[in-house]
Chain A
């Protein structure tokens, strides 16, 4: 893959990387025919972000050499620590960098990023990458009952009332208003925490659709990166969500790019989602509520799906059988796989949403089930972790290099 960015595109690209760095420690770079995808997921697998840059965004965009098979595009994973510093100071990039060239070359497992700056200075950076399957969330925003669309400014104004250190926030929607309040765990600090709440009238939004009244709690910190990106590009932000426990999706798009952040939400044990299969087959502790499902799959593009290496069936720590997600979760048609077959597999992983939370939100990594017919959709296993050891165990199994 080889692409060239110019001028303000470099700054936008850098801003995307900043937003992604708020999410996770690793950056997945996936050059596809229709777009260059930059993705990241957090270690708890409760937040996922994806930035898609269409070829129009670039001065030049090409995938591989003609001799290679089109399916042989390299998908790579970079450490955020190695790429973020290159784009850290956006103002100086804006001032100095005229062009930026990014190329991924097979021979030596490196991503080369070259900045062509003023005064004839060229900076070349070679970053090692790990070859990896592409990361992709399986989430169908069009199935979400609640939709909001607002200028980035509005959302920025809403979150500004909350301190930067505020971890989690609760968004409530009724037909009369939309409100945000800070979420805090009960406990010692309970008495001393300042509670902030703000509410807006539906008229303030460009688009307001309410299917179900709900209160969703998600991590605000992870969202701020996207909001800042949207504000700098003056793009409206769309929010898709449903009942508590189901993921919330924030997205912005324009002609040349599309950005999405999907966050898991805390589920409420009282509101065990009606649309979410909830029975857990694992022996659950009382505090294990439904998990917020962030289906994220390893998508293999057009590669044929037989290799067992791709099948990552990770048993839940409770020893429950592995089940397949019901067809509710559709695979987003993001792969350029002509057969429309995704990777037929899932790995279950769960982790806590936030340190403060005693409700567990688990994420299912999966792809669509093409061979699902005949098999009765069984309920997903929601493994509940309350120990760190179990978390570690999961992290180990979730090694992406298959």
Chain B
């Protein structure tokens, strides 16, 4: 098992750091899956995670200038590691001005991801900072749990309003209730509703736009063409989980999508 990568572009380093920092706000540990073309940060939706699952796919070419990996075996050319994203985030945050950052899988006192950065200095010789982040290698037999989740058949897919706005609203609603109902329709309208014995509050959003799944939808999902555009699909979620997701966002996505499966007891998926 080998892995070596090198980032030399400051913008890429910055973006990579922000993605990892976002993930570190969502969960204490997660799985890093390395394949020849991609890096995946996966949190599988077990009970231990409160039912929250996360799937983050990064194309390695977008970040790394050099990237070499050799998986567990030629047939299973992947590496699965359990990491603490906060450690990675801490390691990366202080080296944002590096000339080059190398990430390697190493074995020190335990398997580690070693992040070595060359920092610019006034003299000709660079400063070197090395962080050894301990990781756990995940054996092949457990790899099933970390496969890409299939997108369920959703009823409605809609672009979310600016996440900051959403966060402000959800923060305030959290004081009133533990559960929130998200509903949206295919006309770009979305409502956030809470209802308690004493009070009910609804926030309405309009003109959000719906992602065009249409013919491109190669997945099982895809809104049925016959669905009434005004009909709302609803799902009830735990506010705190939603808030946790919104709090961590540092990536400033260009688009955030929400797919709702109507009252299926499955929380909506949000993809950025």
In the bound assembly, the distance between CA atoms of A200 and B132 in angstroms comes to 18
How far, in Å, is A149 (CB) from chain B's closest CB? 15
Q: Which residue of A lies closest to B123 (CB)?
A: A203
Name which of B72-80, B87-95, B199-207 contacts chain A: B87-95
Q: Which residue of A lies closest to B125 (CB)?
A: A201
Q: Are B123 and A163 in contact (CB under 8 A)?
A: no
- B130 in the interface (beta carbon within 8 A): yes
- A197 in the interface (beta carbon within 8 A): yes
Q: Which residues of A contact B87 (CB under 8 A)?
A: 194
How far, in Å, is B38 (CB) from chain A's closest CB? 25
Q: Are A199 and B128 in contact (CB under 8 A)?
A: yes
In the bound assembly, the distance between CA atoms of A195 and B95 in angstroms comes to 15
Q: Which residues of B contact A204 (CB under 8 A)?
A: 121-123, 125, 127
Q: Are A198 and B130 in contact (CB under 8 A)?
A: yes
Q: Are A199 and B123 in contact (CB under 8 A)?
A: no
Q: Which residues of A contact B110 (CB under 8 A)?
A: 191
Q: Which residue of A lies closest to B111 (CB)?
A: A191
Q: Which residues of B contact A201 (CB under 8 A)?
A: 121, 123, 125, 127
Mask: chain B, 105-143; 1 = CB below 8 Å from A; 0 = not: 000111010000000011111011111111000000000
In the bound assembly, the distance between CA atoms of A194 and B127 in angstroms comes to 19
Q: Which residue of B lies closest to A192 (CB)?
A: B134
Q: Which residue of A lies closest to B133 (CB)?
A: A194
Q: Which residue of A lies closest to B129 (CB)?
A: A198
- What range describes how many residues of B lie at the interface? 20 to 34
Q: Are B109 and A194 in contact (CB under 8 A)?
A: no
Mask: chain A, 194-228; 1 = CB below 8 Å from B; 0 = not: 11111111011000000000000000000000000
Q: Which residue of B lies closest to A190 (CB)?
A: B109
Q: Are B134 and A198 in contact (CB under 8 A)?
A: no
Question: A interface, by DSSP: helix, strand, loop or mixed?
Answer: mixed
How far, in Å, is A211 (CB) from chain B's closest CB? 23
Which of A190, A191, A199 is close to B127, meaning CB atoms less than 8 Å apart? A199
- A193 in the interface (beta carbon within 8 A): yes
In the bound assembly, the distance between CA atoms of A200 and B84 in angstroms comes to 28
Q: Are B132 and A195 in contact (CB under 8 A)?
A: yes
In the bound assembly, the distance between CA atoms of A350 and B195 in angstroms comes to 63
How far, in Å, is A177 (CB) from chain B's closest CB? 9
Q: Are B128 and A198 in contact (CB under 8 A)?
A: yes
Q: Which residues of A contact B124 (CB under 8 A)?
A: 203
Q: Which residues of A contact B134 (CB under 8 A)?
A: 191-194
Q: Which residues of B contact A196 (CB under 8 A)?
A: 91, 129-132
Q: Are B127 and A198 in contact (CB under 8 A)?
A: yes
Q: Which residue of B lies closest to A195 (CB)?
A: B132
Which of B84, B108, B125 is close to A203, meaning CB atoms less than 8 Å apart? B125
Q: Which residue of B lies closest to A180 (CB)?
A: B129
In the bound assembly, the distance between CA atoms of A203 and B121 in angstroms comes to 10
Q: Are B125 and A197 in contact (CB under 8 A)?
A: no
Q: Which residues of A contact B121 (CB under 8 A)?
A: 200-201, 204
Q: Which residues of A contact B127 (CB under 8 A)?
A: 198-201, 204
- A303 in the interface (beta carbon within 8 A): no
Which of A163, A194, A199 is close to B132, meaning CB atoms less than 8 Å apart? A194
How far, in Å, is B29 (CB) from chain A's closest CB? 10
Q: Are A161 and B129 in contact (CB under 8 A)?
A: yes
How far, in Å, is A349 (CB) from chain B's closest CB? 36
Q: Which residues of A contact B94 (CB under 8 A)?
A: 160-161
Which of B122, B123, B129, B131 is close to A194, meaning CB atoms less than 8 Å apart? B131
Q: Which residues of B contact A199 (CB under 8 A)?
A: 127-128
Q: Which residues of A contact B133 (CB under 8 A)?
A: 194
In the bound assembly, the distance between CA atoms of A190 and B112 in angstroms comes to 13
Name which of B84, B110, B134 has the most chain A CB atoms within 10 A of its CB: B134
Q: Which residues of A contact B112 (CB under 8 A)?
A: 195
Q: Which residues of A contact B95 (CB under 8 A)?
A: 161
Q: Which residues of B contact A190 (CB under 8 A)?
A: 109
Q: Which residue of B lies closest to A160 (CB)?
A: B94
Mask: chain A, 51-63; 1 = CB below 8 Å from B; 0 = not: 0000000000000
Q: Are B90 and A197 in contact (CB under 8 A)?
A: no
Q: Which residue of A lies closest to B122 (CB)?
A: A204
How far, in Å, is A122 (CB) from chain B's closest CB? 43
How far, in Å, is B21 (CB) from chain A's closest CB? 15
Other A-B pairs, 13, CB within 8 Å; known A190-B109, A198-B128, A200-B127: A161-B95, A161-B131, A192-B134, A194-B87, A194-B131, A196-B91, A198-B130, A199-B127, A200-B121, A201-B121, A204-B121, A204-B122, A204-B127
Q: Which are the 8 A-B pairs with shortest beta-carbon distances? A: A198-B129, A201-B125, A195-B132, A203-B123, A194-B87, A197-B130, A161-B94, A196-B131
A sample of 22 cross-chain residue pairs with beta-carbon separation below 8 angstroms, ordered by A number, consists of: A161-B94, A161-B129, A161-B131, A191-B109, A191-B134, A192-B134, A194-B87, A194-B91, A194-B132, A195-B108, A195-B132, A196-B91, A196-B130, A196-B132, A197-B129, A197-B130, A198-B127, A198-B130, A199-B127, A199-B128, A200-B121, A201-B127
